């Protein structure tokens, strides 16, 4: 069966055959051409798509294997969603040590992109908490990969974009929490320098730090936003957990995000908080996964979809580089409701192609307006490349091959570990 | 805590339903063909909260083996409150038209084996005077259609058998539930665009647990299939034979 598939950004589209994996003990099914593992499709661009090839759907590998409530060590199949883990673990006092901004990603997808969360400065990337995983290759071989056993395969596969084989199951270490609640503190700041100061001042006492910035503001308002720092709350109850789930029912023919709605929203958002500092006790769900409560929110960008752009720039000139980037974005009149800004810490990532590295990371969405959007992103790439930064493959649909190679100079080290029968749209674009 | 026997436990709907039971802390006995897949599912249900899980392999067309497996389940769980029969194959209509052998095999799996299992189970439940017998039939049994009447006829047999059994067991306090799912989305196509009629196994599973809890007789899942089938059942034959369905 050939099916048109999309990633979370709904751009690009790809025709591919789907094969469902449902039994971790079974050999890989036979396929023609190239194949690519596919988790829950929460990557934005073409790194989880394989035009004219096969996608090996892993969501059918969604069984928990064993959990030790005394140590927090969990074994589970690779298609298990982070949401499934939280569903049973939080009640027993355990939490994900690292989580991205949506809980609808699979364990396999989280390893293959070596995802990060708001606690990178203390917890590093997802793979730091992976004791090991089984890697199944197209030649039928199975390998247990851990930081000590087949360590080279571990480093190639964590952040390896699904190109080294299929992860069938993994063993993870969860972390203790007292309950489901977070102590959250929000500081309004009016310029980038303040963000950097708040980040530095919060690093040692706050596990989670992130900022939302108004990417439409220019001039002396440039770089204003809210800095949010949080810790898990010591036990106890909080207000009732929010339960309402909204959904975007249809895809509008054109994007609902335009320069007008954007400026209005950003200004409102910035001013929603009266005082400079606000405290709240918040359930972990709206705190970590604000967008998950709006189903299919990616549809508001209309039929042409959108492009996400996430980059990291070195800490030395972060203020300068970010100013450049935000100026370009504000001048273009496009961009997302809110841009996310965070300082990555010093922790070295385990994967050869892991994206996080010390510095400031900025992420935002752009409605796909064709040429103008691609040109803008190209200009942003100029700034990032000149500063010695990098762009995140999990969120990319268009970076040039020479850029990728500059951002990830170690990419060729991956070559010997690539499964010869695996490929992706992204990989062909940046290596051929 | 319920003591639940599931036959056809590796099917997507059965597995999703078992997870709902496990999260409530029920005890589960899982029957299926493939021992290693049953083990993987049992482990999963254990982590999700089932107080007890056990498994047994069975080829449902091996009629002689039925009794021993039912006995084992009863002994292992210390009695049965609920049984869910979920096994089946989606027959290839074309092959059933060409081969009587295939047609008979499909009937053995989808109809006869179900009735054979229900016979001793019904007697057991009648004797104990309580419990729920839930069976996954299909909307395909409501009216034969050219695209799958071999499968549909087997499901029709099951549905008719169940409605008779329901009448018979009514006075012994045993509920018989006929489950009629419409199109169900498998893991393979979960993320890809398809019509609004497709339901996820988890949603169907919620509907099954709900229908068991409420003691219902027939459950179309999702509910709108009851309307669709109401219409399809009432199209006069002279018209029906002209449409391609
Ligand atoms: C709202 C939102 C917020 C996000 N926030 C963050 C964030 O804060 N930090 C961050 O790092 N990312 C973030 N992301 C991106 C997301 O975490 C990653 O793209 C993640 O990898 C998606 O996982 P998935 O299961 O959907 O996999 P897919 O997107 O389907 O696949 C991702 C990659 O993993 C590979 N893969 C999947 N399963 C396997 C397997 N079993 N074996 C081998 N390879 C496999 C695929 O080939 C592909 O290369 C966010 C995404 C969204 C939509």
Which tens digit of pLDDT belongs to each residue from A195-213?
999 999 999 999 999 999 9
Q: Which residues contact A198 (CB under 8 A, 6 or more apart)?
A: A187, A189, A211, A227, A229
Q: Mark which residues 37-96 of B lie under 8 Å from A by CB.
A: 37, 40-41, 43-44, 47-49
Q: Encoding tokens for residue B153? A: 């006829």
Kindly report the nearest CA distance between residue A193 and chain B, in angstroms: 42
Separation of CA A147 and ligand 1 centre (Å) = 21
**Whether pLDDT at B68 is above 60:** yes
The number of the ligand 1 atom at minimal distance from the alpha carbon of A41 is: 30
A134 CA from centroid of ligand 1 (Å): 18
Instruction: Find, among A30, A23, A20, the residue nearest to B34 by Cα.
Output: A23
Cβ of A25 within 8 Å of Cβ of B44? The answer is no
CA distance, residue B13 to nearest chain A CA (Å): 12
Measured between CA atoms, the residue of chain A closest to residue B194 is A3
Residues of B in contact with A64 (CB under 8 A): 43-44, 47-48
Cβ contacts (< 8 Å) between B192 and chain A: which residues? Answer: 3-5, 18
Looking at the complex, report in whole angstroms how far the Cα of residue B48 sits from the nearest Cα belonging to chain A: 6
Interface of A with B (CB under 8 A): 3-5, 18-20, 22-25, 40-41, 57, 59-60, 62-67, 77, 79, 88
Sort out which chain B residues have CB atoms less than 8 A from A22's CB and list them: 187
* Cα A412 to ligand 1 centre (Å): 22
pLDDT of residue A245: 67
A23-32, A202-211, A293-302: least confidently modelled range:
A293-302
pLDDT at B193: 64
pLDDT at B210: 98
In angstroms, what separates the C-alpha of B58 from chain A's closest C-alpha?
19
Average pLDDT on A115-129 reads 98
- What is the band of A5 on the pLDDT scale with cuts at 50, 70, 90? confident
Compute the average pLDDT of residues B182-191.
72
Q: Which residues line ligand 1 (CB under 6 A)?
A: A 8, 36-43, 47-48, 58, 78, 100-102, 105-106, 108-110, 112-113, 115-117, 161-162, 166-167, 291, 394
The Cα–Cα gap between A235 and A240 comes to 15
DSSP helix/strand/coil, B120: helix
How do residues A344-368 score in pLDDT, each as one tens digit?
999 999 999 999 999 999 999 999 9
Residue with tokens 């596969």: A157
CA A417 to ligand 1 centroid distance, Å = 20
pLDDT at res. A122 = 97
Which pLDDT band, with edges at 50, 70 and 90, does A334 fall under? confident
Contact B201, B16 (CB under 8 A): yes
∠ CA A174-A180-A186, rounded to 5°: 105
Task: Answer whether the bond into residue A3 is a cis peptide, omega within 30°.
Answer: no
A169 bridge partner residues: A77, A134
Is some CB atom of chain A closer than 8 A to the CB atom of B36? yes
Whose alpha carbon is nearest atom 11 of ligand 1? A115
Instruction: Tell me the average pLDDT of chain A.
Output: 93
Which region holds residue A335: left if phi is over 0, alpha if psi is between -120 and 50, else beta?
left
Angle CA(A337)–CA(A338)–CA(A339) in degrees, nearest 5?
135
Cα of B17 from ligand 1 centre, angstroms: 27
% of chain A beyond a pLDDT of 90: 80
Residue of B19, B34, B187, B203 to mutate, testing the A interface (most A Cβ within 10 Å of its Cβ): B187
Distance between CA A288 and CA A310 in Å, rounded? 18
- Is the pLDDT confidence value at A293 over 90? no
Closest CA to B151 of B97, B204, B86: B97
> Strand A306-313 vs strand A390-391: parallel, antiparallel, or unpaired?
antiparallel
pLDDT at B194 over 60: yes
Task: Note the pLDDT of residue A1.
Answer: 63
Q: What percent of chain B has pLDDT over 90?
A: 91
Higher-confidence residue of A117 and A275: namely A117
In the predicted structure, residue A327 carries a pLDDT above the cut 60: yes
- Chain A residue numbers touching B186 (CB-CB < 8 A): 20, 60
| Chain A touched by B192 (CB under 8 Å) | yes
Structure tokens at B57: 């392999």
In this prediction, residue B189 carries a pLDDT of 61
- Considering CB atoms only, which of B40, B47, B193 is closest to A67? B47
Q: Is B14 on the interface with A (CB under 8 A)?
A: no
**What confidence tier does A297 reach under pLDDT thresholds 50, 70, 90?**
confident
pLDDT value for A250: 75
Q: How far is the CA of A301 from the centre of ligand 1 (A)?
A: 20
CB-CB neighbors (< 8 A) of A168 in chain B? none
Position in ligand 1 atom list of the atom nearest CA A356: 11
Q: State the helix-helix crossing angle for B100-107 and B149-170, rounded to 10 degrees.
A: 30
The closest of B167, B173, B181 to B81, measured between CA atoms, is B173
The predicted pLDDT at position B43 comes to 98
* pLDDT tens, position by position, A384-415: 999 999 999 999 999 999 999 999 999 999 99
What is the rounded end-to-end Cα distance, in angstroms, of chain A?
A: 27
Q: What is the mean pLDDT of chain B?
A: 95
Q: Which residues of B touch A8 (CB under 8 A)?
A: none
pLDDT tens figures, A157-192: 999 999 999 999 999 999 999 999 999 999 999 999
Contact A4 B44 (CB under 8 A): no
Neighbours of A304 (CB within 10 A): 17
pLDDT tens, residue by residue, A215-271: 888 889 999 999 999 999 997 666 666 666 677 777 777 777 777 777 887 788 788
Length of chain B: 245
Three-state DSSP state, A55: strand
Q: How far is B160 from chain A (nearest CA, A)?
A: 33
Across the interface, which of B36, B48, B189 has its CB nearest the CB of A18? B189
Over the stretch B204-215, which tens digit does the pLDDT of each residue have? 999 999 999 999
What spacing in Å lies between the alpha carbon of A162 and ligand 1's midpoint? 10
Three-state SS at B17: helix
Instruction: Count contacts between A and B (CB, < 8 Å).
Output: 56
Contacts (Cβ under 8 Å, ≥6 apart) of A205: none
Per CB-CB distance under 8 Å, the chain A contacts of B193 are 4
Residue B188 pLDDT greater than 60, yes or no: no
């Amino acid at each position: 069966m050939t099916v048109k598939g999309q990633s979370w950004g709904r751009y690009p589209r790809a025709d591919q055959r789907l094969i469902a994996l449902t039994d971790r003990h079974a050999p890989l099914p036979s396929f023609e051409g190239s194949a690519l593992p596919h988790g829950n499709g929460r990557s934005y661009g073409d790194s989880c798509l394989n035009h004219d090839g096969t996608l090996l759907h892993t969501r059918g590998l969604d069984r928990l294997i064993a959990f030790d409530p005394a140590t927090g060590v969990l074994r589970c199949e690779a298609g298990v969603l982070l949401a499934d883990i939280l569903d049973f673990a939080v009640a027993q006092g355990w939490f994900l040590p690292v989580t991205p901004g949506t809980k609808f990603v699979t364990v396999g997808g989280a390893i293959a992109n070596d995802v990060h969360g708001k606690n990178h400065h203390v917890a590093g990337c997802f793979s730091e908490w992976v004791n090991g995983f089984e890697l199944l290759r197209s030649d039928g071989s199975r390998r247990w990969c851990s930081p000590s056993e087949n360590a080279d395969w571990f480093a190639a596969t964590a952040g390896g974009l699904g190109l080294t084989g299929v992860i069938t199951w993994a063993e993870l270490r969860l972390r203790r929490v007292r309950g489901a609640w977070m102590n959250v503190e929000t500081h309004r700041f009016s310029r980038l320098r303040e963000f950097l100061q708040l980040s530095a001042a919060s690093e040692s006492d706050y596990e989670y730090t992130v900022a939302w910035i108004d990417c439409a503001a220019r001039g002396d308002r440039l770089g204003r936003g809210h800095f949010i720092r949080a810790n898990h709350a010591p036990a106890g109850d909080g207000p009732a957990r929010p339960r309402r789930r909204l959904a975007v029912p249809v895809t509008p023919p054109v994007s609902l995000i335009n320069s007008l709605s954007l400026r209005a929203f950003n200004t409102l958002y910035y001013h929603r908080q009266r005082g400079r500092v606000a405290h709240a006790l918040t359930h972990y769900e709206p705190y970590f996964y604000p967008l998950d409560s709006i189903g299919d929110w990616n549809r508001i960008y209309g039929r042409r979809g959108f492009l996400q752009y996430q980059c990291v720039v070195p800490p030395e000139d972060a203020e300068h580089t970010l100013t450049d980037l935000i100026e370009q974005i504000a001048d273009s009149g496009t961009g997302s409701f809110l841009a996310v800004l965070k300082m990555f810490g010093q922790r070295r990532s385990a994967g050869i192609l892991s994206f996080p590295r010390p510095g400031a990371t900025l992420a935002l969405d752009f409605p796909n307006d064709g040429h103008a959007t691609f040109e803008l992103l190209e200009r942003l790439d100029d700034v990032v490349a000149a500063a010695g930064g990098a762009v995140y493959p999990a969120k990319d649909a268009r970076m040039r091959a020479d850029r990728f190679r500059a951002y990830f100079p170690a990419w060729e080290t991956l070559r010997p570990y690539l499964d010869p029968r695996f490929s992706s749209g992204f990989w062909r674009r940046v290596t051929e | 805590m319920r003591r639940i026997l599931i036959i056809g436990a590796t099917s997507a709907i059965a597995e999703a339903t078992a997870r709902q039971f496990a999260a409530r802390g029920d005890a589960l006995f899982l029957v299926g063909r493939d021992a290693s897949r049953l083990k993987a599912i049992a482990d999963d249900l254990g982590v999700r909260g089932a107080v007890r899980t056990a498994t047994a392999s069975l080829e449902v067309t091996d009629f002689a083996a039925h009794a021993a497996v039912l006995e084992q389940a009863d002994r292992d769980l210390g009695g049965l409150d609920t049984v869910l029969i979920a096994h089946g194959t989606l027959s290839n209509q074309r092959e059933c038209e060409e081969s009587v052998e295939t047609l008979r095999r499909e009937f053995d799996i989808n109809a006869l084996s179900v009735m054979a299992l229900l016979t001793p189970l019904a007697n057991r439940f009648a004797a104990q005077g309580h419990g729920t017998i839930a069976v996954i039939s299909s909307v395909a049994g409501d009216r034969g259609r050219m695209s799958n009447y071999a499968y549909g006829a087997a499901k029709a047999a099951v549905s008719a058998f169940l409605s008779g059994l329901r009448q018979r067991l009514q006075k012994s306090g045993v509920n018989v539930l006929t489950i009629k799912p419409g199109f169900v989305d498998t893991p393979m196509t979960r993320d890809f665009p398809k019509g609004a009629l497709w339901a996820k196994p988890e949603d169907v599973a919620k509907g099954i647990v709900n229908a068991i809890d409420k003691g219902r007789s027939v459950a179309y899942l999702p509910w709108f299939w009851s309307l669709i089938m109401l219409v399809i059942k009432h199209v006069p034959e002279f018209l029906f034979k002209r449409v391609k369905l």
